[in-house]
Amino acid sequence: MNLPLALAAGALRSPFKRPAPGAAPAGATAPGRRLTEAGVRIDPARLAAYARACGFPGRGPVPLPYPHVLAFPAALRLMAARDFPLPLLGLVHTWIEVTQHRPLHPWEPLDLTVRVAGLAPHRRGTEATVTTEAHVAGEPVWESRSGYLARHRTPGPAPHPPAPHPSTSRTAAPHSPAPATAPPLPARAEWHLPPGLGRHYARVSGDRNPIHLHPLTARPFGHPRPIAHGMWTFARCLAERDTDPQAVYVRAAFTAPVPLPATVTYAASGPAFQLRSGDRVHLTGTVTSAGRP
């Protein structure tokens, strides 16, 4: 199934998957299905367009978030499938963590495996964790975990967040955002985001979620204006940091949408970074060497 058909199928199935208020979604566990694509080759023109859109250099190693873009069609097909228990429409990307074991080069073919790792209760609904692994000639080179939230009413107090992935020795849950009362980081740059940013990033990434494209398509989902892709804000922050392309671990939480157009401030200190407008924080994250606690 190609990407537009997968998106259409997921949209048509979404009304039949909405969890009842205060109830668990249909199916107590995630399907556990996985999709594997072998020998995925990077299109140089598409990679260059992505780098320009996100502020990365036009040459050198593959930008750290780019394997997520390559794996996105497989992830979408999994979440659009009949046996995925959450509605595709309205899913919110809430957090991401990426471990890059070594730099990736544009000429290296990748074997990509995408899997729905599990479901967990969330204070605002139910959250699915989707994992991606990239191998080169059998060598693990890149992996990610992402949280996707389906909002619905939940009974009782907010559940405790799950523990971090066992492959990391972090002490905080990967999708736990920084406290809202944390002091702001020093401003490093200011960016003016045009109203068509969502459409531009959709062309280079393939993520054509309607909330990012136009006021008319964003409004049914509660947004009077289109919002920037979380993965664009994540990538733009990493491009601004000039992240060391060696072994690296990055964790970020998407804490508030960025309505377009917008003027936002990139802020950073040490391993921590954030994106904000005024007092509103849109993204928080940290960058450390892979394997460091």
CA-to-CA distance for 4 and 262, rounded, in angstroms? Answer: 29
Beta bridge partners of 248: 100, 289
Tell me 123's DSSP state.
T
Within 10 angstroms of residue 216's Cβ, the number of other Cβ atoms is 9
* CA-closest candidate to residue 193, choices 166, 232, 220: 232
Q: What are the tens digits of pLDDT across the range 90-145?
A: 889 999 999 999 999 999 999 999 999 988 888 888 899 999 999 999 999 999 99
The answer to whether residue 165 scores a pLDDT higher than 90 is no
The answer to whether residue 265 scores a pLDDT higher than 50 is yes
Q: Is the pTM of this model over 0.75?
A: yes
State the pLDDT at residue 170. 37
What average pLDDT does this structure show over 227-246? 89
Please answer whether residues 287 and 237 qualify as being in contact, where contact means their C-beta atoms are separated by less than 8 angstroms: no
Quote the percentage of the chain above a pLDDT of 70.
77
The answer to whether residue 259 scores a pLDDT higher than 90 is yes
Least confident of 56-65, 78-87, 106-115, 281-290: 78-87
What average pLDDT does this structure show over 15-39? 64
CA-to-CA distance for 71 and 62, rounded, in angstroms? Answer: 14
